[in-house]
Amino acid sequence: MRGPLVLVLVLLSASGFALEAPRQIPRRLAVAVSRPQGSKFTPADALMIARSLHQHLQDADGQVVIVEIAEMPAAATPVEMGSAATAAGADSWMLLTLDGQWTSARLGFRADDLHSNSTVAQFSTTRTTLSSPASLPGETWADAVGAIAGKFPMIEVAAPPADSEQLARLDLTALPGSVITGLGSPPIRVDSSGSAFRMLLPEREYTLRTSLPGYVVVTQKIFLSGDRELAVQQKKSSRWGLDVSLSDSRAPGMDFTMAFPTLPLFMRLGITTYALALALSPTEVFLSVPLTNIELRAGIYLSPEDRFFRFYAGLGAFARIVHAKDTFPMFDPVAPLGFMLLAGTEVPISAQGRLYFEYTPSVYLTNMPDALRAALGSDNAPGWVFASSEGFSLISFRVGYRWQL
Amino acid sequence: MKKIGLLGFIAALCTSCLPIPFDLAVSQAAGTAAKMTRDNSGPISSNYFQGESQRDFAFYPQVLASGGFDYSAGFVTALDNVSVNIQAVANGSQNTNWNQPIPNPDPHAPAYLGWPVKSGTSYLFGIVFDALSPSSSGYALFQATPPSVFTSTGSSLLSLVAPLGFVNSVIGASVSASPSATFDLLHVLAVGATSYLEAAFQVQSTLPNVVISSVPRPSVALPFIPAGVKRVMYFYDDNTAADPSRVDNRSFACWYDASSSSWVSYAWWQTPTGVGSTFSMRLPADHRLDALLSTGQLLSTEDGVGRLYDRDGNLQATFPLGNLTYIAEEYVGGAPRCYFSQCLIYDHTLHFNIYWIPTDQLGTLGN
């Protein structure tokens, strides 16, 4: 008997059947919201409420992949929900019915498991303390989270017959030299032909980050259900930028920025003028002072460009030009030149635009420190310190908006 | 975004109380002062700052009989809405303060005229004009004797000219420096019923005999001066330098013409000087004339702009003064210099710098 048994095992092995333990894959739960007729909630309300629910479901059960789907019609049936969930690659769904209004919300929950073809949870409840999306605490969704807790266990699937076949192949196309992270260690470096690949566990979502000096960092999410090819679309970083700013909450300015393609460095040339400045006075809105600074700044970014807060630091120099009526423009005789430190951060507002905030302590070079002191007024100006040939301004800020051209 | 907004708000709060590090008047003064010589003993500090109601600060140092100034003593002057504020400074410390009321200040011309005069101590010769009535015009001699004694004495200019036959009539006066070590010259223009009187007085600071001599000149008809004018800027060029190109001696008057919103200036003279027929000409200068210099040039400091004219009123140079105040022309070593004071206010304290330039180089400030 031993001979035929060995033969069967050999044949099974040769035919590709695995002898390893089966593996488990996470469930994918499609979550949607619908508003019955008469609901006072707006589409924007529904979207923000759905986001809150998604977040709390995901935080509560890391083994369930939450899939967002669009708002369902008011009278969506379970069948329609099932279809929508399947189309989104999910194997289960939850529908939140949002009726009433903020101060007296009537919420309906239903969750179905398409895998077992069963309803996992179904209940209604009311909320009387809601006021806005920002006021939704975790407790709001405690019953929903609890209702599905543990109800969507991972699905056990048969393991592939060989190690290599347990994984899916992700073929990547990107610019040569690009570094791709988010696909396990070590980071992938795209070769000179512009291609790379990595074997990955399937049925998972991955967040790729592709960087290459001189190009905009690309961050994208993919769901890997099997072998797949992915071409990363990389866009050249713009070398030029335009800034508009407001210094010390009163003086408008404009700068042209030049970035260096392969280094996190920048150089800016611009002006800040007091010719049309905010007065910051109870009695005046604008004031006009015939002074314009020509400024040159250079610095280095300390954070990657795809960070929400991108910090930078640098140095700058400025020349103060007086352009009084009936006289030729000239360097300010009191303090013609100065230098500044930069410490700032940018925050992305749009694909091309960033808001920035800079702290710019400055030193004014002067042969007449007493004249510079007098120029600041009869009171001791806060934030100013004087030496024999310098005036230091320690409280100075700039806010602005930066466009990549 | 909330954090960004908060940061922006904090930044706005922090900077909303920050002044702009620039004052046009200070910068313009600095540019012009850089072409002059700065007295090394400055700045002279004074605690006389009383708030924003004061303006037009100046420092008049003590005049030395040997020529030039002693910067350790003198007078700080300022204007408020109702008076001239005067503070005596002696040996670098502040002494008594005093106010000379200005009953009806002229909205266009300086509310008062001040000249340092020669003294062994510190004197400022000041005249306050009343814009409505020449009859209330007067002069006051402000004296400080170190360390703290301050006296003032005054008598109407009328008392000076009354013995010369004119009453209730002084409309213009000026003091010019003299190479003499003992006196300076006060020139007065008074108006009578049908003609004008000019007279020169040698003045010194030794009380009580301020006027040590007078030199009246023949009365003349000056029909170009509008009737009813109560205030003119008046100067007399006695050609101390005996410059042949400045013969004959000239008189100058300048007044504000409301109809054209500008200043009108005339010059007149007799040929031969002082005894012949009277001739006159309107000068092309249309700014207020504030001083007649020993070179025969006329200086305007109206609206913080220095304008130098020749004796015919032709503009020779323009330069920004900012907060520089022309205070006097003085002889040092026989050579005349023009002196300016600059007031810088910080720490709630007045700080004065004194600058000078040889009078014959004043035009280079316009380069």
Considering the domain architecture, whether residues A253 and A376 belong to the same structural domain is answered as yes
What integer pLDDT is reported at residue A274 of this predicted model? Answer: 94
Pairing type for strands A337-348 and A362-365 reads: antiparallel
Q: Which of A335, A347, A371 sits opposite B4 (nearest CB)?
A: A347
Residue B147: the pLDDT is 43
Q: Which residues contact A6 (CB under 8 A, 6 or more apart)?
A: none
Residues 314-343, chain A, touching B (beta carbon < 8 A):
320, 322, 324, 327, 330, 332-335
* A364–B contact, CB cutoff 8 A: yes
- Chain B residue with the nearest C-alpha to that of A355: B4
For residue A368, list chain B residues with Cβ-Cβ distance below 8 A.
Answer: 30
Q: Decide if A286 is inside a domain.
A: yes
pLDDT at B236 over 60: yes
In this structure, which amino acid lies at residue B72?
S
Are A319 and A393 members of one domain? yes
Q: What integer pLDDT is reported at residue B316 of this predicted model?
A: 97
String of DSSP letters for B305-316: EEEEE-TT--EE
CB A117 within 8 A of CB A93: no
A330-331 and A353-359 strand pairing: unpaired
Spatial CA neighbour of A216 closest among A261, A258, A182: A261
Report the half-sphere exposure of B296 (CA within 13 A, side-chain side). Answer: 19
B1, B15, B27: residue with CB nearest A332 = B27
Q: Which residue has the tokens 């300076």?
A: B184
A376 shares its domain with A249: yes
Tell me the pairing of strands B305-309 and B315-320.
antiparallel
Residue B149's pLDDT band (cuts 50, 70, 90): very low
| Inter-chain residue contact B345 with A289, CB threshold 8 Å | no
* pLDDT less than 70: residues of chain A: 1-23, 62, 133-135, 157-165
Rounded Cα gap, residues A123 and A110, in angstroms: 7
Question: Same structural domain for residues A175 and A304?
Answer: no
Q: Which whole number is the average pLDDT over B138-164?
A: 56
Q: Give the pLDDT confidence of B339-357 residue by residue, as tens digits.
A: 999 999 998 889 999 999 9
Where along chain B do its domains lie? 22-366
- DSSP code, position B220: B
Q: What is the CATH number of the domain that holds A90?
A: 3.40.50.10070
Is residue A137 domain-resident? yes
* Highest mean pLDDT, choosing among A309-323, B77-91, B159-173, B217-231: A309-323
- Does A149 share its domain with A194? no
Q: Which of B4, B36, B346 to mutate to test the interface with A (most CBs of A within 10 A)?
A: B346
> Measured in whole angstroms, how far is the alpha carbon of residue B211 from the centre of its chain?
20
On whether any CB of chain B is under 8 Å from the CB of A282, the answer is: no
In B38-170, which residue ranges form alpha helices assigned H by DSSP?
A: 157-161
Last residue of one domain, picked from the residues A204, A231, A258: A231
Tell me the shortest Cα–Cα distance from B23 to chain A, in angstroms. Answer: 5
User: How confident is the model at residue B6, as a pLDDT?
Assistant: 57
Identify whether A325 is part of a domain. Answer: yes
Question: What is the pLDDT, as a whole number, of residue A361?
Answer: 96
Contact list in A for residue B43 (CB cut-off 8 A) is 370
Asked whether the beta carbons of residue A250 and residue B20 sit closer than 8 angstroms, the reply is yes
What is the rounded distance in angstroms from the CA atom of residue B269 to the CA atom of residue B279? 5
pLDDT for A118-142, tens place per residue? 898 999 988 877 777 666 777 788 8
- In a domain? residue A8: no
- Residue A353 at interface with chain B, using a CB cutoff of 8 Å: no
Based on the fold, state whether residues A265 and A345 are members of the same structural domain: yes
Condensed to tens digits (0 to 9), the pLDDT of residues B190-209 reads 887 778 888 888 877 665 45
Contact B21 A322 (CB under 8 A): no
Is residue A76 in a domain? yes
Position of tokens 């027929």? B277
Contacts of A377 in chain B (CB under 8 A): 19, 345-346
| Terminal C-alpha separation, chain A | 79
| Res B332: pLDDT | 87
Is B22 close to A375, i.e. CB distance below 8 A? yes
Inter-chain CB proximity B17 and A373 less than 8 Å = no
d(CA B128, nearest CA chain A) in Å: 28
With an 8 Å Cβ cutoff, is A289 touching chain B?
yes
AA letter at B307: R
Question: Measured between alpha carbons, how far is B2 from B274 in angstroms, rounded to an integer?
Answer: 84
**Where residue B148 falls among pLDDT bands split at 50, 70, 90?**
very low
pLDDT per position as a tens digit, A316-345: 999 999 999 878 899 999 999 999 999 999
Choosing from A173, A204, A231, the residue where a domain stops is: A231
How many contiguous H segments (helices) and E segments (strands) does chain A have?
5, 28
In 3D space, the residue among B311, B250, B346 whose CA is nearest the CA of residue B57 turns out to be B346
A242: tokens are 């335009």
Q: Is A357 on the interface with B (CB under 8 A)?
A: yes
State whether B27 and A333 contact (CB < 8 Å): yes
pLDDT digits (tens, 9 = 90+) for B33-70: 999 998 866 678 888 888 888 888 999 888 876 777 88
Asked if B352 has any chain A CB less than 8 Å from its own CB, the reply is no
- Number of domains within chain A: 3
Q: Does A13 map to a domain?
A: no
Q: What CATH number does the domain containing A200 carry?
A: 2.60.40.1120
CATH code, domain carrying A293: 2.40.160.20
- pLDDT value of position A8: 39
Same domain flag for A58 and A116: yes
Closest-CA distance of chain A to residue B356, Å: 17
ipTM of the complex: 0.84
Q: Are residues A138 and A32 in the same domain?
A: yes
Say which of A249, A289, A355 has its CB closest to residue B22: A289
Same domain for A385 and A302?
A: yes
Closest CB to B27 among A274, A322, A378: A322
pLDDT of residue A318: 98
Mean pLDDT of chain B: 81
Predicted local distance difference test score (pLDDT) of residue A22: 61
What is the reported pLDDT for B42?
A: 65
Structure confidence at residue B269 as a pLDDT band (50, 70, 90): very high
A182: containing domain: 163-231
Choice between A218 and B311, residue whose per-residue pLDDT is larger: B311
Give dist(CA B163, CA B146) in Å, integer: 35
What are φ and ψ of residue B16, in 5° steps?
Answer: -65, -25
Q: Any CB–CB contact under 8 A between B43 and chain A?
A: yes
Extract the tokens encoding A405: 């051209």
- Full-model pTM: 0.70
pLDDT in tens, B101-132: 777 778 888 877 887 777 655 567 777 776 66
Residues A260 and A383 reside in one and the same domain: yes
Single out the residue in A207, A231, A255 at which a domain terminates. A231
Q: Do A357 and B22 touch (CB under 8 A)?
A: no
Q: Please report the number of interchain residue pairs, chain A to chain B, with beta-carbon separation below 8 angstroms.
A: 113
Q: Of all helices (H) and strands (E), which one includes residue A373?
A: helix A369-375
Side chain identity at residue A117, one-letter code: N
Residues A221 and A126 in one domain: no
pLDDT at B2: 55
Here the tokens at position B188 are: 């007065």
Q: Is the peptide bond before A348 cis (omega within 30 degrees of 0)?
A: no
For residue A319, being part of any structural domain is answered with: yes
pLDDT exceeds 70 at position B334: yes
Q: By C-alpha distance, which of A329, A342, A340, A324 is closest to A391? A: A340
- How many angstroms separate the CA atoms of B110 and B130, rounded? 11
pLDDT at residue number A5 = 43
